[in-house]
Structure 1
Amino acid sequence: MSAPIVITGASSGLGLATATILAGKGIPVILGCRDEGRAAAAKQQILTAVPTAEVEIVIIDLASIDSVRHAARQLKSLAVPPAAIICNAGLQIVDGVQESADGYEMTFASNHLGHFQLIDEVIGTLASGARILVVSSDVHQGPAKSGGFPAPEWTTPGELADVEVQRRTASNRGGRVRYSTSKLANVYFTYELARRVADRGITANAFDPGLMPETRLSRNYPMLMRRGFQLMTPIIRLMMPVARPLSQSADDLAWLATAPEMAEVTGSYFTGRDKVPSAPESHDTEKARELWEVSESLVQKA
């Protein structure tokens, strides 16, 4: 068996589309999914498209420290360690502040902390040449770059994870702010990871897939808003430069995970296949280091 590529959030959307492309190239894929039924359906969808595909499933709920720990043990026991891990799963909550299984704010727990823990636990088993790709978003850059989406509001990692702090500071756009803040955390994490594994020949890069109206990211919005979003997909693509077809973003992400010319590129931020600047704030090494250290503490505490 050749080295597989692990993709979280692979039961639908960008994760499933990327896994299907990779499988079509003859690369074994491991689908990291929270729901067993949806994972099985995703596997079958890939096998229908690519009958010769090698597809495995790892159940992982990124909002649960125990679930991530169990998934990490499975990945560490593979006969051949992963060639790449694509940290793709994410959610956006617009209806109040929700709490993870471990008592942390749900957006921070799912979009950052779970991926941090997964990589932190597995990184020691990866070989030189392995790639880590973290799906972020240009919403971390603020409205000018994100089509009007609210800018991040970074405080301290401890406060971002604290449910009560987030409830006290919540506003009618709080869920979207927490989402954009989690995407800034993704970039901090990527850059700090790249610095920490540089001497091992492992690369870490962040990826902005653009706005993809056909994905399930809006699944927590009210039904009428979700339906309107779906119906307006063609118009959104025409009117918003940040919008891109799901198929294009998946192809770009698969390219970043496999292209020979990407073998030594690390600590960078990509929109599609183009290396572009991330927000100036994302290059604050002290905040990145603090995020890493507090994340370690939060995982240990849980």
Structure 2
Amino acid sequence: MNDPFLITGATSGLGLATAKSLAHQGVPTLLGCRDTHRAVRAKQAILAEVPDASLDTIPLDLASIDSVREATARITARETRLAGIICNAGVQIVSGVETSADGYEMTFATNHLGHFQLVTELVDRLGPGARIIVVSSDVHQGPGKSGGFPAPQWAPPAELADPAVQRQRASSRDGRVRYATSKLANVYFAYELADRLRPLGITVTAFDPGLIPETGLSRNYPTPLRQGYRLMAPLIRWLVPVARPLHRSAGDLAWLATAPELAQTTRRYFTGRDELPSAAESYDRERAGELWEVSERLVRRARPA
């Protein structure tokens, strides 16, 4: 495989570990990174393990329409195909409501809208056999499947993107609900995208990595909770059924990107390497279509004329 995979959120956690796993397989990788200094460190960390790895970095802030547009322009200018895109980056904000550079609620902007723009602008760089993997989470299925994490609360997508509407619900629990809702949006996006790209021979799957205590999703939590979560990581992995070690989830994600037996697998949801049903509401085609249409409008609205 000579064409590279693009991975978002590749400076730490699942993104970095997956990039390492792909490097060990000899798969070229583009590291989409918001922080250029951390991007350099991530590249060095991979090369320390795989000295002959084929790597490059792409500045990419998914919470900025301009940044995504500049990143897609850089990738297009390379005049090479992509083997696929792994939409991995995400934020979980529990300290109120934050606003993106374009005026959208930060969780929705980063976890969904930035990836929507990135993928739709790079479709012409993908050929038959390319794979797109959207990292979701079983938190979109509600507490029964997510170890007690609050369930998503779907609303018209324009409201999900509106920080003024979201500030009416600004508790830490509401922040977790917004995260769960963004993960439901990821599944809607993956299924709608799969339907649209099926004629082109491009596959799309959604992926639940499980609860990974080592990831940076808790970075927005208060310092005592964040430190306690880090110290309790080994115990969490042992006690919580949905918890998984980072290396295992990264290996599963790399497998989903490269396994020959999955060449024709599309519009499916995977928990680790198991193909399982997503939440019943995630199969609502009307919602998926509305999310697509509103996302197109939001991207256009944020762009300069």
Measure how far apart 1:78 and its partner are: 2.5
Aligned pair 1:44/2:31, yes or no? no
What residue number does 2:150 align with?
150
Q: Is the 8 A contact 1:30 1:58 kept in 2?
A: yes
Identity of paired residues, percent?
65
Distance, in Å, in 2 between the alignment partners of 1:168 and 1:227 is: 29
Which residue is 2:114 aligned to? 114
Work out the CA distance in 2 between the residues paired with 1:263 and 1:55. Answer: 24
Matches within 5 A, 1:127-276: 127-276=127-276
Equivalent residue, structure 2, for 1:71: 71
Instruction: Give the AA of the match of 2:104.
Output: Y
Alpha-carbon distance, 1:235 to partner:
1.2
| 2:90 equivalent to 1:90 | yes
What CA distance in whole angstroms lies between the structure 2 residues aligned with 1:123 and 1:198? 12
Native 8 Å contact 1:210 1:271 kept in 2: yes
- Aligned pairs, number: 302
CA contact (8 A) 1:23 1:29 kept: yes
- Over the residues paired in the alignment, what is the CA RMSD in angstroms? 0.9
Q: What is the letter of the counterpart of residue 106 of structure 1?
A: M
Range that drifts further, 207-216 or 230-239: 230-239
Kept in 2: contact 1:75–1:81 (CA 8 A): no
Counterpart residue number, 1:124:
124
Question: How many angstroms apart in 2 are the aligned matches of 1:166 and 1:126?
Answer: 35
CA shift, 1:25, in A, is 1.0
Query: Which range is displaced more, 73-82 or 190-199?
Result: 73-82
What do the CA deviations read for 1:160-184 (whole angstroms, capped 9, x no partner)?
A: 0001000023334111000000000
Aligned letter for 2:197?
A: V
C-alpha contact (below 8 Å) 1:2/1:80 kept by paired residues: no
Aligned AA (2:43): K
Structure 1: tracts of 5 or more residues without a match: none
The CA distance in 2 between the partners of 1:136 and 1:125, in whole Å, is 23
Residue type at the aligned position of 1:26: G
2-structure distance, mates of 1:135, 1:249: 11
Does the aligned pair in 1 maintain the 2:80–2:125 contact within 8 Å?
A: no
Q: Which moved more, 1:59-68 or 1:77-86?
A: 77-86
Structure 1 residues 198 and 222 mapped into 2: Cα distance closer, same or farther (>3 Å)? same
Pair 89,172 (structure 1): closer, same or farther in 2 beyond 3 Å: closer
Amino acid at match of 1:42: A
Which stretch has the larger CA shift, 67-76 or 110-119? 67-76
TM-score, reference length from structure 2: 0.98
Q: 1:226-269: CA deviations, max 9, x gaps?
A: 11111111111111110000000000000000000011000000
Post-superposition Cα deviations, 1:59-94, rounded to whole Å, max 9, x if no partner, equal 000000000001111122223211010000001001
Question: Structure 2: which amino acid aligns with 1:22?
Answer: L
CA distance in 1 between counterparts of 2:73 and 2:2 reads: 20
Instruction: Please report the TM-score for the alignment, with normalisation by the length of structure 1.
Output: 0.99
How far, CA to CA, are the matches of 1:36 and 1:14 in structure 2?
18
- In 1, are the aligned partners of 2:256 and 2:273 still within 8 Å (CA)? yes
* In 1: Cα distance, 2:47 partner to 2:238 partner: 33
Q: Please, which runs of 5 or more residues in structure 2 have no aligned partner? A: none
Q: Give the C-alpha shift of residue 124 in structure 1.
A: 2.1
* Contact 1:60/1:67, CA 8 A, preserved across alignment: yes
